Amino acid sequence: MKNAAKHLSNADPVMRGIVERVGPLRIEYREPTFETLVRSIVFQQLSGTVARVILGRLHGALPDGRITPEAILKLRTPKMRKLGLSGAKTEYIRDLAGRREGAVRFEGLPERRTDVIAALTQVKGIGVWTAQMFLIFALRRPAVLPVGDLGVRKAMQQAYSLEELPKPGKMEELALPWRPYCSAASWYLWRSLDGIAEI
Q: What is the pLDDT along the chain (199 residues), one digit of tens a residue?
A: 679 999 999 999 999 999 999 999 999 999 888 899 999 899 888 877 899 999 999 999 998 999 999 999 999 999 999 999 999 999 999 988 987 544 466 656 666 677 888 888 888 888 998 899 999 999 999 999 999 888 899 999 999 999 999 999 999 999 999 999 999 999 999 999 875 555 5
Distance between CA atoms of residues 54 and 79, nearest Å: 12
Tell me which fold the domain 2-28+143-192 belongs to.
Answer: Endonuclease Iii, domain 2 (1.10.1670)
Sequence-distant (≥ 6) Cβ neighbours of residue 121 within 8 angstroms: 127, 128, 131
Q: Enumerate the CATH 1.10.340.30 domain ranges in the chain, comma separated.
A: 34-137
**196: three-class secondary structure by DSSP:** coil
Q: DSSP letter for 6, please.
A: H
Distance between CA atoms of residues 42 and 170, nearest Å: 31
- According to CATH, the superfamily of the domain at 34-137 is Hypothetical protein; domain 2 (1.10.340.30)
